[in-house]
Chain A
Amino acid sequence: MEHKNISLIIDNHKVVVPEDTTILDAAKSIGINIPTLCHMHLKGTCADNHPASCRVCVVEVKGRRNLAPACSTKCADGMEVKTSSIRVIRARKTVIELMLSDHPNECLSCPKSGKCELQAVTQHLSINETPFSGELSLRKKEMTASIVRNMDKCIYCRRCETMCNVYQSVGALGAVGRGFNTTIAPTFDRMLKDTDCTYCGQCVAVCPVGALTERTYTDQLIDDLENPDKVVIVQVAPAVRVALGEEFGNAPGTIVTGKLVSALKDVGFDYVFDTDFSADATIMEEGSELLDRLSKFLSGDKKVPIPLMTSCCPAWVNFYEHNFPDLLHIPSTARSPQQMFGAIAKTYWAEKMQISRDKLVVVSVMPCVAKKFECQRPEFSTNKNPDVDYSITTRELATLIRRANINFDALPKMEFDNPLGESTGAAAIFGSTGGVLEAALRTAYEIYTKKPLPKIDFEDVRGMDSVRSATIDLNGFALNVAIAYGLGNARKLMEEIRAGKCKYHVIEIMACPGGCIGGGGQPLHHGDFEIIKARQKAIYEEDRNMPIRKSHENSSVIKMYEEFFGKPLSEKAHELLHTHYSDKTIKY
């Protein structure tokens, strides 16, 4: 449909915009930034939150009785808008003052301080006093393995609700109660841990204030680093290195791998390893599983579960365990790279280094908050000693670097330690939507066809559309693949599978927008999807720069199989690199 242009006047400037443009966007197009709080739209995804409820973005529209919310009022031809009249400023200021009157105002010690959008608007409006005071609304606090809810700080923007319901279709968070004591919480104001929450952390990623934050393990980490009896090793996920720089003022998409390694060494880790190593191992296992299922399928086995779905994303694993207990045989049994790394480190590597399990602390730096929950799953521990002791987010790492007073910009570039630091370009792209599948295809193609890939890049599976599909020619066999991010999209695919209408052989699912690069533990994007796109670009650049770009060519991985596992899907591999799923349906 062709859009007609309309013209209007904003603060005495004539603006021409396409029909259906909001006043907020029209003003932005001429450099007027109207402050917002509840509004958030990850353009290109269904994560569009515009309840028009915070009333911070109100503007004056000539002829209109009351003020209009700029975020959701569409421009009309001939409209005259004032974005900063006295009336508007007074209203905006009063609205913020009201929010502050029901806010703990503990900014000095709030984990969001400095990144809080309420704080930013308060400063923008130069609010130096809080004229209104009174009762504070009573809301719950909760600490789960991944997410901390401190709902006293909630300003009721409902971004989390949109992420949880519209984007993820999980429905763990929603409005409960009414009036002054309305809160965002699970149904009947239950605890999050008693719900279908997948700990994807998208609520945390979009919360403008300190109401929803990740559970931090930095203090525990510092204690362990200080302990001379412990050998503390770290693994870093692929999506971290393309985002961490943002915390130190680098442009989104800056690759900081070398500095990251330096920083971790400076902080005091004994060994700095790479999750990319185990991502390559994941491909060995998952790729073999795919080929195994495919060969059975092609030989007429009707019982073999097709499609195979990836299982790297812990939120996705939680999602199907809670929602699709009848389809638990569909996803790959391969553990996620984080957990494969932990298992490898505490067996293969620990034996090699002659370090006893109880002395070894395995830490992961992840773009994700669900990883915190994942590493605490009982099936990933031996004698109550977890394979991965705990996981910190990209943001927590930045905090740690700042706390250690390290000048990040001035750090030299360093290499990961070996052997668990060697990786390929295939592992690097695990951080983006489509990356796991492409990595698997690079390996599966060569093993299946016994021919080298004509072109390493599978451009067809790349991109930022939230659901994509492609057909890959495997020696005449048309392999149908699909990629989706967002659990809402995953749900649709799962329902197709349940209904027997799925035409795909392999499906990759990641919960977060754009994959791990848009994870709940990443530097805050404040609703700007362009930041996530820039990270994706960097991911593929990282891949291109790697000398080896196929997982099965990782020499350290090959050596590990020779020395320890034998071959993919071996008994030992099954024991340490694979998992099982169980029905986690919640009865309400």
Chain B
Amino acid sequence: MKISSVEDLKKIREKASVLLSPREEGDKQDSSACCGLEKGTAHMQILTCGGTGCKASQSHLIAENFKKLIAEHKLESKLEVITTGCFGFCEKGPIVKIIPDNTFYTQVKPDDVEEIFTEHILGGRRVEKLLYADPKTNKFVSDSKHMDFYRKQVRIALRNCGMIDPENIEEYIARDGYFALASCLLDRKPEAVVEEIKKSGLRGRGGGGFPTGMKWEIAAKNKADEKYVVCNADEGDPGAFMDRSIMEGDPHSIVEAMEICGYATGASNGLVYIRAEYPLAVERLKIAIKQARERGLLGKNVLGTDFSFDIDIRYGAGAFVCGEETALIHSMEGKRGEPTLKPPFPAESGYNGKPTNVNNVETFANIPIIITKGADWFASIGSEKSKGTKVFALAGKINNVGLIEVPMGTTLREVIFDIGGGIKGGKKFKAVQTGGPSGGCLTEKHLDTPIDFDTLTAAGSMMGSGGMIVMDEDNCMVSVARFYLDFIVEESCGKCTPCRIGNKRMYEILDKITAGNGTVEDLNKLKTLAGVIKDTALCGLGQTSPNPVLSTLSNFYDEYLEHVKDKKCRAKECKSLLTYLINPEKCVGCHLCAINCPADAIEGSPRKPHVILFSKCIKCGMCMSRCKFKAISVR
């Protein structure tokens, strides 16, 4: 059915709300009582996570198994299985959520379905072994809103992820979807839309943090026969997956936002540049585009107005640099994906030389709700210069790995220790890397820094797209810098000298240091190189690529010095700097270490203390792992 008025939209919203409102209620209200059909609950919904992470753990089989049981019991009228987008708590996935009692099951396996079905769905008794146990209290928490992981989160961009069926446009409409578009097309002038976004204070979530409204304004002012709106879905930061999750969990919000942007800037062509490694996101996006077209919400004369807009998908081959907007545009044009100097900015001369507005997925995901709830509402969230929320992908040595969304201004401590649940295995926090490979490493002293675009930059890191990798005492910071430089060297497009050769040389110096051959002079060279690369590289990738080196040099200089002067790696990560020793007092001469040594580096007569020959030792640690008497230590 074509939707040609707000009335039509309202009708659909009303219809779909029947299914949506119990889910929304569950998020607002507390109901500790467990529901079950045998207890008289009239209708229940089973939400299973359909994000890539949970799918990899067979969440699709979970949904199938539920459906099979429902069919066997002929309970189709009372039960609904809905595959949603990502819930965010990926550490505990696959997730299954039962509505209306809002029970949040974690690490569910397809084999657990039967038990959930019999016990909970039918019997009204929660399956405790699948509930989340609070690590602090060891008590089960059945409702996600009481979990530390969710308590401090404010989900705006992720508002529909884990809430709706992303392949069902009606569920999106039930969440006020396309009402923002309708409001723009029917009640607002394009300039008013731009003004609203400007007023909201929304800044680009892809890394740059450029004010979105201002970007739109420039694109709107440039007159041209054709203009383009591009959604940058070339998420490339290692460990970051917020854009993927949004596209998988709430693709219509991107479609709607791109249309709003098209209306505001005077563009009628939309292009999504998405990496081909995101097949599920591509599929969901395609479905969303198709559904929107069928309903008259995309294409010619949207909602019966004069406004026409359509969206096409372009695939990226997974080059990190194509996240840079000029490189992205060249890649879409079929050219080599490498940045060109700005100006001209894409807003003046972008895709095919036409004014082009490029925004990132997460930025777009914020647009419809800003229109619906108003700029003032959005601007009331966040810090002074960074409004709204930010999605972070928590990863590394942290208990609660996953996708979180917090208001700008939340401190690193809250994110890492409250939401993230602290460091794995009770180890000591050492650093957190924000902003992806070109971000910096922040330390203990930055933990109480409120996170926003400017504070992170001031601290020597950056927001980036929101990757957050936590490191503990076992991470060697020189190796960390070397790891990121390795990535950068791999991903540099090779165009400008400092990035092409400079980063390679920095990597080589770091490699030399971790191999135990570094000198103090090398540290000075690193500093010079890092400074010059930052100052002279052509694009954002190159200009920020020295950040891991600069931030570790400034925050962990002692560790560098230890590597080059004392030839020591305190985290024991740099193998070349390790020395394995046999304590003659503990060694019983069992010879087990010698048998297992792949390098024949251990000598000794039976029942006499053995010795490791340093000249032959390859520092694999095999001896230490095999010794039953704890006689071998590493220094």
Q: Is A433 an interface residue (CB 8 A)?
A: no
Instruction: State A131–B223 Cα separation when bound (angstroms).
Output: 51
Instruction: State A5–B543 Cα separation when bound (angstroms).
Output: 32
Q: By the criterion CB–CB under 8 Å, are A95 and B505 in contact?
A: no
Q: Is A275 an interface residue (CB 8 A)?
A: no
Look across to chain A and name the residue whose beta carbon is closest to the beta carbon of B534.
A66
Q: By the criterion CB–CB under 8 Å, are B497 and A101 in contact?
A: no
Q: For residue B286, give the distance in angstroms from its CB to the closest CB of chain A.
A: 29
Instruction: State A45–B150 Cα separation when bound (angstroms).
Output: 62
Contacts of A225 in B (CB 8 A): none
Q: By the criterion CB–CB under 8 Å, are A179 and B496 in contact?
A: no
Q: By the criterion CB–CB under 8 Å, are B525 and A91 in contact?
A: no
Q: Is A69 an interface residue (CB 8 A)?
A: yes
Q: By the criterion CB–CB under 8 Å, are B489 and A179 in contact?
A: yes
Q: By the criterion CB–CB under 8 Å, are A98 and B340 in contact?
A: no
Q: By the criterion CB–CB under 8 Å, are A98 and B502 in contact?
A: yes
Taking A98-B497, A98-B505, A182-B500 as contacts, is the C-beta distance between A55 and B525 under 8 angstroms? no
Contacts of A51 in B (CB 8 A): 340-341, 495
Interface residues of B in 537-555 (CB under 8 A from A): 537-538, 543
Q: Is B564 an interface residue (CB 8 A)?
A: no
Q: Is B270 an interface residue (CB 8 A)?
A: no
Q: Is B83 an interface residue (CB 8 A)?
A: no
Which of B321, B341, B504, B535 is A180 in contact with, Cβ under 8 Å? B504
Contacts of A175 in B (CB 8 A): 336, 338, 494-495
Contacts of A179 in B (CB 8 A): 489-494, 500, 504
Which of A58, A72, A135, A177 is B508 in contact with, Cβ under 8 Å? A135
Chain A 76-89 against B: per-residue CB contact (8 Å), 1 yes, 0 no? 00000000000100
Instruction: State A265–B276 Cα separation when bound (angstroms).
Output: 67
Q: Is A134 an interface residue (CB 8 A)?
A: yes
Taking A101-B501, A174-B336 as contacts, is the C-beta distance between A87 and B535 under 8 angstroms? yes
Which of A58, A94, A174 is B529 in contact with, Cβ under 8 Å? A94
Q: By the criterion CB–CB under 8 Å, are B495 and A177 in contact?
A: no
Contacts of B495 in A (CB 8 A): 51, 53, 156, 175, 182
Q: By the criterion CB–CB under 8 Å, are A67 and B493 in contact?
A: no
Contacts of A182 in B (CB 8 A): 493-495, 500
Instruction: State A404–B343 Cα separation when bound (angstroms).
Output: 52
Q: Is B21 an interface residue (CB 8 A)?
A: no
Taking A134-B505, A134-B508 as contacts, is the C-beta distance between A95 and B497 under 8 angstroms? yes
Q: Is B367 an interface residue (CB 8 A)?
A: no
Q: For residue A51, give the distance in angstroms from its CB to the closest CB of chain B.
A: 7
Q: By the criterion CB–CB under 8 Å, are B500 and A91 in contact?
A: no
Q: For residue B328, give the distance in angstroms from its CB to the closest CB of chain A.
A: 15
Chain B 511-538 against A: per-residue CB contact (8 Å), 1 yes, 0 no? 0000000000000010011001011111
Q: By the criterion CB–CB under 8 Å, are A178 and B529 in contact?
A: no
Q: By the criterion CB–CB under 8 Å, are A55 and B497 in contact?
A: yes
Q: For residue A588, give the distance in angstroms from its CB to the closest CB of chain B.
A: 15
Q: Is B319 an interface residue (CB 8 A)?
A: yes
Q: Is A102 an interface residue (CB 8 A)?
A: yes
Q: For residue B545, give the distance in angstroms from its CB to the closest CB of chain A.
A: 11
Q: For residue B243, give the distance in angstroms from its CB to the closest CB of chain A.
A: 23
Instruction: State A236–B525 Cα separation when bound (angstroms).
Output: 54
Instruction: State A74–B504 Cα separation when bound (angstroms).
Output: 31
Interface residues on B, range: 20 to 34
Q: For residue B460, give the distance in angstroms from its CB to the closest CB of chain A.
A: 14
Taking A94-B528, A98-B505, A182-B493 as contacts, is the C-beta distance between A55 and B336 under 8 angstroms? no
Contacts of B491 in A (CB 8 A): 178-179
Q: Is B498 an interface residue (CB 8 A)?
A: yes
Look across to chain B and name the residue whose beta carbon is closest to the beta carbon of A74.
B343
Look across to chain B and name the residue whose beta carbon is closest to the beta carbon of A50.
B341
Contacts of B543 in A (CB 8 A): 66
Taking A156-B500, A180-B489 as contacts, is the C-beta distance between A90 and B532 under 8 angstroms? yes
Contacts of B532 in A (CB 8 A): 90-91, 94-95
Interface core residue of B338, B493, B501, B534 (most chain A CB under 10 Å): B501
Instruction: State A134–B492 Cα separation when bound (angstroms).
Output: 17
Q: For residue B465, give the distance in angstroms from its CB to the closest CB of chain A.
A: 20
Contacts of A73 in B (CB 8 A): 341
Instruction: State A426–B87 Cα separation when bound (angstroms).
Output: 82
Q: By the criterion CB–CB under 8 Å, are A180 and B536 in contact?
A: no
Q: By the criterion CB–CB under 8 Å, are A177 and B536 in contact?
A: no
Q: Is A348 an interface residue (CB 8 A)?
A: no
Instruction: State A53–B497 Cα separation when bound (angstroms).
Output: 7
Taking A135-B508, A182-B500 as contacts, is the C-beta distance between A91 and B536 under 8 angstroms? yes
Interface residues of A in 135-161 (CB under 8 A from B): 135, 155-156
Interface core residue of A51, A102, A132 (most chain B CB under 10 Å): A132
Contacts of A52 in B (CB 8 A): 340-341, 496, 538
Instruction: State A66–B538 Cα separation when bound (angstroms).
Output: 10
Contacts of B538 in A (CB 8 A): 52-53, 55, 69
Look across to chain B and name the residue whose beta carbon is closest to the beta carbon of A155.
B497
Q: By the criterion CB–CB under 8 Å, are A98 and B535 in contact?
A: no
Q: By the criterion CB–CB under 8 Å, are A66 and B341 in contact?
A: no
Q: Is A54 an interface residue (CB 8 A)?
A: yes
Contacts of B529 in A (CB 8 A): 94, 132
Q: For residue A212, give the distance in angstroms from its CB to the closest CB of chain B.
A: 18
Q: Is A191 an interface residue (CB 8 A)?
A: no
Q: By the criterion CB–CB under 8 Å, are B505 and A132 in contact?
A: yes
Q: For residue A71, give the distance in angstroms from its CB to the closest CB of chain B.
A: 9
Taking A98-B505, A134-B508, A135-B508 as contacts, is the C-beta distance between A178 and B494 under 8 angstroms? yes
Q: For residue B528, give the distance in angstroms from its CB to the closest CB of chain A.
A: 6
Taking A55-B537, A98-B502 as contacts, is the C-beta distance between A156 and B494 under 8 angstroms? yes
Q: By the criterion CB–CB under 8 Å, are B525 and A131 in contact?
A: yes
Which of A56, A95, A177 is B494 in contact with, Cβ under 8 Å? A177
Taking A67-B536, A134-B508, A178-B493 as contacts, is the C-beta distance between A55 and B338 under 8 angstroms? no
- A-B contacts, 5 of them at CB < 8 A, read A51-B340, A66-B543, A90-B528, A102-B501, A134-B504
A-B residue pairs, 6 tightest by C-beta? A182-B494, A98-B501, A94-B532, A134-B508, A179-B492, A180-B504
Residues of A within 8 A of B (CB): 51-56, 58, 66-67, 69, 72-74, 87, 90-91, 94-95, 98-99, 101-102, 131-132, 134-135, 155-156, 174-175, 177-182
New contact pairs (18) apart from A66-B535, A135-B508, A178-B493, CB-CB < 8 Å: A52-B496, A53-B538, A69-B538, A91-B532, A94-B498, A94-B529, A95-B536, A98-B498, A98-B505, A99-B501, A102-B501, A132-B501, A134-B504, A175-B336, A175-B495, A179-B493, A180-B492, A182-B493
